[in-house]
Chains A and B, each alone.
Chain A
Amino acid sequence: MQVTILYFAGLREALQTSGETLQLPGSVATAGALRDWLVARGAPYADALAPGKAVRMSVDQAMADAGTPLSEGAEVAFFPPVTGG
């Protein structure tokens, strides 16, 4: 399936892009699986999204966790813990 991925704040800087549209293999069906798949692509994802790094995810503009399912055309975002207010 195809998804749009957005990156914010420090992650946007580390990846040097604010987003991309990617075609995912059928095995990538959740937000957590997408993160793992990106990490497996190597630099710069491997470091920026490494397991253990504090990374938050959203799917279709709602906070998500590793098990949140993805659907065709989903808007997924990766970002650091929020610091507004």
Chain B
Amino acid sequence: MPVRVQREDFEVGAEIAALRQGDGAVGAVASFIGTVRDVNDGSGVAAMTLEHYPGMTEKALESICGKAKSRFDIRDTLIIHRVGELRPTDQIVLVAVTSAHRGEAFAACEFIMDYLKTEAPFWKKEATPQGQRWVEARQIDDEAAARWRDPQAGH
């Protein structure tokens, strides 16, 4: 159930290979990669700085993975989230889930991302032609997390 917060980039193939290495019960791997867009809310974005709360961020991510593991029939999870200065097209986050069959891996991967978006203490600041601005939280992210409150959602 590895969780990593780091400045460095990551190599998706190597990370997934390590996650499922030696586990013959794995028949499915689902992954999500979030990347930096060059436009947001109608403005060009030249760079993005990601701030986090060291200590709490790792705890929050571990807690989210724990919830996923108790809710879905999955083998293992991985979250890597970058912090610091990023540029358009850079990778921001990787979530990967292994399971016996695809349904649980797909659902758990989405569950983890929806909770990460609303519970993990990260904040994005964008550099735009109008200056620096903090990204505003979106209602749609709260709604995406809220739909998992039904314990049967995703099954």
Contacts and interface: CB of A to CB of B under 8 A. Distances in A.
A9 interface: yes
A79 B123 contact: yes
A27 B112 CA distance: 39
Interface of B: 34, 50-53, 55-56, 59-60, 81, 92-93, 113, 116-125, 134-137
Contacts of A9: 51, 123, 125, 134
Contacts, number: 71
A8 interface: yes
A58 B34 CA distance: 26
Main secondary structure of the interface of B (DSSP, over half): mixed
Interface of A: 6, 8-10, 54, 58, 61-63, 77, 79-85
Contacts of A8: 51, 53, 121, 123
Given A9-B123, A80-B134, 13 more contacts: A9-B51, A58-B56, A58-B121, A61-B59, A62-B56, A79-B53, A82-B137, A83-B134, A84-B52, A84-B122, A85-B92, A85-B113, A85-B120
